[in-house]
Amino acid sequence: MLYLYAPDQQDHYHRLLQEALPDWSIACWPQEVNAEAVTHVVAWKPPVAFFQRFPNLQVIFTLGAGVDKFLHRDDIPEHVTLIRLTDAGMAQQMTEYALYGLLHYQRQMDIYRQQQQVGVWQPQPTRLAKQTRVTILGLGQLGMQVAQNLARLGYPVSGWSRQARSIEHVHCVHGCDALDRLLPETDVLFSILPATDETQHLLDARRLALLPKNAALINAGRGTLIDQEALLNLLNQQHLRFVLLDVFAEEPLPAEHPFWQHPSVLITPHIAADTIPEEAVAQIAANMQLLANGLPVPGQVDRHRGY
Ligand code: NAP
Ligand code: GLV
């Protein structure tokens, strides 16, 4: 039996899953079932201790790309296979999000917005795409496609990952020393890194200060990447010109947080790339077939690595 936990869109997912997996018996939270019969779970943001009730659980499919909420919990035994979504329509959305922030900064919409508020008609010097150096943190399923798409549009793109990567027209580097060398050469820093022990506060006060004055930062990965206090200090010193944040250490961002009112910060409520139910279910069904045939499955999470 497959058990579904997706309270926001339960009926929709249930229908799609049942159509894609006609031979499976599918139950939905909070339906009471014979918990011993449940071998597979499809879930997003399951509550604490949710998985404890399923003694014969074999596989969990997440309805998202990031798996941080599925790790460091004691209700998922080591032997359970964790499979996340890979792209499933998110890379296109992530490219749009990155491009929106990039254009807002490069075409100086932040400055024109401020000028408009005080009725100033003042053209700013033209800045071309080829004069706007973009660095992408994370070259996985999403970051790699963002990097390729931005490079195609004429931006000089660098990318940073854990292991060495090679992407056509993208200057790829890895390792912390390389990151420190790259940051001073970056006009727009876009992060699409997962939340792991290693990425926690990777962008601390020292690294953020390596960005050139008037640079921009866009974070669509996870909020734990950034030391938010350090970022606020740097913004208040007018070191960074524009910051677009989709993810935060605490979500929703608390109402009293200074980011809300900061003139250099644009906030979105964790919407950079949404899960598309049709694509997610098609991918889960295909992955179930691969698993059943004993074949490798894309998106299988390395729980020790954290992504
Ligand atoms: P992925 O395919 O696992 O890619 C992760 C990338 O991050 C890889 O390139 C990996 O390096 C790199 N990385 C991980 N730890 C690193 C470290 N310590 N140092 C340097 N690079 C490191 O993941 P994805 O599918 O692209 O998704 C990335 C993240 O986006 C998700 O985990 C999630 O947090 C976030 N996300 C956000 C939204 C949103 O709406 N805001 C939507 C979807 C996803 P290697 O290539 O060397 O392995
Ligand atoms: C959303 O943040 C995801 O990880 O899919």
- Looking at the structure, tell me whether residues 99 and 22 fall in a common domain: no
Residue 118 structural domain: 90-267
Active site (annotated) includes residue 222 = yes
pTM of the model: 0.98
Rounded to the nearest 10°, the torsion over CA 132, 137, 140, 142 is: -60
- Looking at the structure, tell me whether residues 75 and 157 fall in a common domain: no
The catalytic residue among 222, 239, 303, 304 is 222
Counting the structural domains of the chain, the total is 2
The reported pLDDT for the residue numbered 44 is 98
- Looking at the structure, tell me whether residues 74 and 124 fall in a common domain: no
Among all bound ligands, the one having the nearest atom to the CA of 93 is: 1
Active site (annotated) includes residue 133 = no
In the chain, DSSP assigns E strands to: 2-5, 26-28, 40-43, 59-62, 81-83, 134-137, 157-161, 170-174, 188-191, 215-219, 240-245, 265-267
Q: What is the pLDDT of residues 234-259, one digit of tens each?
A: 999 999 999 999 999 999 999 999 99
- Looking at the structure, tell me whether residues 27 and 164 fall in a common domain: no
Q: What is the pLDDT of residues 151-178, one digit of tens each?
A: 999 999 999 999 999 999 999 999 999 9
- Looking at the structure, tell me whether residues 97 and 83 fall in a common domain: no
Q: What average pLDDT does this structure show over 55-81?
A: 97
Among all bound ligands, the one having the nearest atom to the CA of 173 is: 1
pLDDT band at 262 (very low <50, low <70, confident <90, very high): very high
Torsion sign across C-alpha atoms 59, 64, 65, 71: negative
The reported pLDDT for the residue numbered 285 is 98
Q: How far apart are the C-alpha atoms of 227 and 167, rounded to whole Å?
A: 29
- Looking at the structure, tell me whether residues 78 and 125 fall in a common domain: no
Q: How far apart are the C-alpha atoms of 72 and 120, rounded to whole Å?
A: 52
The verdict on residue 304 lying in a domain is: no
- Looking at the structure, tell me whether residues 80 and 146 fall in a common domain: no
**Among 198, 203, 270, which Cα is nearest to 240's?**
203
**Among 159, 167, 151, 138, which Cα is nearest to 99's?**
151
Q: What average pLDDT does this structure show over 220-241?
A: 98
The verdict on residue 58 lying in a domain is: yes
The reported pLDDT for the residue numbered 158 is 99
The verdict on residue 13 lying in a domain is: yes
- Looking at the structure, tell me whether residues 208 and 110 fall in a common domain: yes
Q: What average pLDDT does this structure show over 293-306?
A: 96
The catalytic residue among 239, 270, 303, 305 is 270
CATH number at residue 257: 3.40.50.720
The verdict on residue 45 lying in a domain is: yes
Query: Mean pLDDT score of the chain, rounded to an integer?
Result: 98
- Looking at the structure, tell me whether residues 154 and 261 fall in a common domain: yes
Q: How far apart are the C-alpha atoms of 58 and 77, rounded to whole Å?
A: 9
Nearest-Å Rg of the Cα atoms of the chain is 21
The verdict on residue 299 lying in a domain is: no
Q: What is the pLDDT of residues 26-53, one digit of tens each?
A: 999 999 999 999 999 999 999 999 999 9
Q: What is the pLDDT of residues 169-221, one digit of tens each?
A: 999 999 999 999 999 999 999 999 999 999 999 999 999 999 999 999 999 99
Query: What's the 64 CA to ligand 2 centre distance in angstroms?
Result: 5
The verdict on residue 303 lying in a domain is: no
Give the number of the atom of ligand 1 that is nearest the alpha carbon of residue 174.
20
The verdict on residue 37 lying in a domain is: yes
- Looking at the structure, tell me whether residues 135 and 247 fall in a common domain: yes
Residues with CB under 6 A from ligand 1: 65-66, 90, 138-143, 160-163, 165, 192-196, 198-199, 220-222, 246-247, 270, 272-273, 307
Q: Which residue's C-alpha comes closest to atom 38 of ligand 1?
A: 273
Among all bound ligands, the one having the nearest atom to the CA of 68 is: 1
The reported pLDDT for the residue numbered 174 is 98
Query: Which residues is 62 bridged to in the sheet?
Result: 43
The verdict on residue 181 lying in a domain is: yes
For the chain, helix (H) and strand (E) counts, in that order, are 8, 12
Distances (CA, A) of 300 to 40, 107, 134, 155, 292: 14, 40, 30, 32, 14
- Looking at the structure, tell me whether residues 163 and 190 fall in a common domain: yes
- Looking at the structure, tell me whether residues 193 and 159 fall in a common domain: yes
Q: What is the pLDDT of residues 64-73, one digit of tens each?
A: 999 999 999 9
Which tokens is 172 given? 């790829």
Q: Which of 62, 192, 297, 304 to mutate to test the pocket of ligand 1 (most atoms within 8 A of CB)?
A: 192
